[in-house]
Amino acid sequence: MVPVRVMIVGAGSRGGGYAQWIGNNPEVAKVVAVAEPRPEYREPLADAHGVPPEARFDNWRAAAALPRMADVVLVCTLDDAHLEPSVAFADLGYHLLVEKPLAQTREDCAAIVAAARRNKVLLGVCHVLRYAHYTRMLREIIDSGAIGEIVSVDHVEPVGFWHHAHSYVRGNWRREADTAPMLLAKSCHDLDWLRYIVGRDAVAVSSFGSLKHFRPEDAPPGAGERCVSCAVEPDCPYSALRIYHRFLDQGRTGWPLDVLTPAPTKETIDAALRDGPYGRCVYHCDNDVVDHQVVALEFTGGVTATFTMTAFTKAGPRRTAIYGTRGELYCDGDRITHYDFLTDTTEVVDVAAANSGMIDTGHGGGDGGLLASFLPAAAAGDPDLVVTSGQDALRSHLMVFAAEQARHEGRVVRLEAAGA
């Protein structure tokens, strides 16, 4: 097929990662324009893809003011900046692939879906876990009937102590009002994944969670405002010096280091920790998102599921137990273990090490799988090829909004009553 022309709106970690995949698959797509206010991120991405000067923009509005120059827009801005560019580019006839979460409110999510429908353009949402290799393997086992009918699921997202400190205490997603609640910003992936695996819609939800640890009252005695000048830094597991220098020592200069600086070296990292937000003490930031949360779900047909998000783990792949009427499955990112009730036997299916599900591994192949699915769908103009459509993603987002309503109000919320 003729390569799909792509505009990247937002050249941070997600936009840059998608652009890299496109560069490695030139037969599928080509980056032809980029909109990003920070020149230190915009120009290297544009240079790498040969984007001409007239297609490099310091804001998306400048790109939207010109005649259509691409087939697809990848909206990879921060969570609070999805609505306007998505609607504007849909109105111009661009197909849309929007980073999760789709938007911060029910109304804004619905507005993006309506804009795509009104303009008859394709809308995909980056729920990349659906596309991970191990998800496909898991669905094949379930669809084969090997465990009978699913009765319940326990699913855990071990965000990891340093990842949580990086993104949700020091980083961009630390405050609900500025971006989104933790469940929406991080774990809408997981509620969507649960709905996809169970194959049913949720009908009721409850939830509990809070900001337990990353607060001033939990700071060790003598803790300073910044790690570079803190007397207790050597004994603190959340030391920014230790976390980021460890990545540098390992030669890993992509995410998360490229969030601190576009060209990670010891000197640029040290400067970022001295002067920027990522060098702040985790107990003296302005964060307010939860650091642990539990969600309980009931799906149609009486199927139940629990989801646990926690900061207080080693960063790693999701862990899931699936209980069926004829057997059970346990998945840990490395392997899928299947126990059969009838034969009293256990089978282990290996999953490649690259399928950890972490962002710096492309979410276990999910990032590439997403693009390999959506971009050909856009080339064909065929909505049936879009695995995660806007309407489908909207149903999953409504689960998240209902769970947050349940957490704040301390009650069970029926999805019908929550507008789902």
What SS3 class is residue 316? coil
Scanning 121-260, the segments in alpha helix (DSSP H) are 133-143, 161-164, 182-185, 188-198, 240-249, 257-260
First-residue to last-residue Cα distance in the chain: 38
CA-to-CA distance for 124 and 4, rounded, in angstroms? 15
The total number of residues written for the chain in this structure: 420
Q: pLDDT tens digit string along 146-195?
A: 999 999 999 999 999 999 999 999 999 999 988 889 999 999 989 999 99
Give the pLDDT confidence score for residue 364 in this predicted structure.
56
Angle at 389 between CA 46 and CA 299, to 5 degrees: 135
CA–CA dist 373, 20 (Å, integer):
16
Residues 49-74: tens digit of each pLDDT: 999 999 999 999 999 999 999 999 99
Residue 9: its pLDDT value, please? 98
Query: Hey, CA dihedral for 275, 279, 282, 287, is it positive or negative?
Result: positive
Q: What is the identity of the amino acid at 383?
A: P
Q: What is the mean pLDDT of the chain?
A: 93
pLDDT of amino acid 352: 66
Residue 389: pLDDT over 90 = no
Query: Tens digits of per-residue pLDDT, 165-178?
Result: 999 999 999 999 88
Percent share of the chain, pLDDT over 70: 95
pLDDT band of residue 360 (cuts 50, 70, 90) is very low
For 240-260, what is the mean pLDDT?
A: 95
Asked if pLDDT for residue 221 goes beyond 60, the answer is yes
Q: Read off the pLDDT band of 358 (50, 70, 90).
A: very low
Nearest to 318 by CA among 261, 363, 281, 288: 363
